[in-house]
Amino acid sequence: MSKPKTLEEFPQFLVDIVRGGEASSDGYRRYQIYGKFNRVIDGIDPHWFWLLFGEKGCLCVTLQSLDKETKAAVLTCDEIDEPKVVGQSLAYLSPYWQAYHVWMVLDPEWGWHRKQFHGVDAFAQNYVSEQPSIVDGREVRVWTKLEPAIGREGSSRYYPATDQSLPPSTERQLVAGGWGHEHCDLCRTHIDSHQFGYCDSNDRWLCEKCYERYVLQRDLAFVDEL
């Protein structure tokens, strides 16, 4: 087993200056963050990415400018309160991940418990997309949105509807056992009904392999390997 990857090994952004603009009607203010990366980041997303700091701190930032030679950069973020990060080194995280993916691996008090997944009922509702898609060689315009009847608040999945005739029935229907699997939050593999995994208080799931490989080892190597 290789040495666990730590947050200090992530690309780092050293903050020199934070400047704030005028507050918007919703109370947020756009801040400019001036600083320098410690190394070149291949494929850095210009639209947004994460900067992590402290125990569970994070900023969602947008890249405004970057000098590839000096690695100096100007970033912006929208926050209610000014980020107190001047002089700090913040860890870069790709937008492929969420900030909580890092914290749920590092925090020994996150609250994971081993649990057997059981399929739950789901609500299904059809809708028509504006543009057709080609799925497995057929044109799809009617999609079925599936939502769990209990747990996983805000979660949904989309499948090509079995019946593609127009107009579709938009009646919301209860499908017994329709939510038949979960995904590991790190590797995205299925945790099917009656299989075991690890679950937290927000109904996030990890497969047993990822739990043993990353959580037990406090290893952040998943950002490179998955």
Prediction pTM value: 0.86
In a domain, 226, yes or no: no
In terms of domains, do 88 and 120 share one?
A: no
Task: Please name the residues in contact with 24: beta carbons below 8 A apart, sequence gap of 6 or more.
Answer: 30
In terms of domains, do 119 and 63 share one?
A: no
Q: In CATH, what number is assigned to the domain containing residue 26?
A: 2.40.30
In terms of domains, do 119 and 202 share one?
A: yes
In a domain, 103, yes or no: no
In terms of domains, do 67 and 159 share one?
A: no
According to the model, what pLDDT value does residue 153 have?
75
The domain boundary, picked from 36, 65, 96, lies at 96
In a domain, 92, yes or no: yes
Q: Are 223 and 93 in contact (CB under 8 A)?
A: yes
| Band of pLDDT at residue 226, cut at 50, 70 and 90 | low
In terms of domains, do 168 and 205 share one?
A: yes
Long-range interactions of 169-176: CB distance < 8 A, separation 24+: 169/126, 170/125, 170/126, 170/127, 171/125, 172/123, 172/124, 172/125, 173/123, 173/124, 173/125, 174/121, 174/122, 174/123, 174/124, 174/149, 175/121, 175/122, 175/123, 175/124, 175/146, 176/121
In terms of domains, do 87 and 27 share one?
A: yes
**Structure confidence by residue, pLDDT tens digits, 179-198:** 999 999 999 999 999 999 99
In terms of domains, do 81 and 131 share one?
A: no
**Structure confidence by residue, pLDDT tens digits, 16-48:** 999 998 888 888 999 999 999 999 998 898 899
**Structure confidence by residue, pLDDT tens digits, 55-96:** 899 999 999 999 999 999 999 999 999 999 999 999 999 999
In a domain, 222, yes or no: no
According to the model, what pLDDT value does residue 86 have?
97
In terms of domains, do 77 and 168 share one?
A: no
User: Which domain covers residue 174, as residue numbers?
Assistant: 114-215
In terms of domains, do 133 and 59 share one?
A: no
The domain boundary, picked from 32, 64, 96, lies at 96
Residue 151 has pLDDT above 80, yes or no: no
Task: Tell me what the pLDDT averaged over the chain comes to.
Answer: 94
Tracing tokens 């009656």 back to the chain, one arrives at 194
Could you give the number of structural domains in the chain?
2
In a domain, 29, yes or no: yes
The domain boundary, picked from 26, 61, 96, lies at 96
According to the model, what pLDDT value does residue 45 have?
85
In terms of domains, do 33 and 73 share one?
A: yes
In terms of domains, do 122 and 203 share one?
A: yes
In terms of domains, do 84 and 123 share one?
A: no
In a domain, 25, yes or no: yes
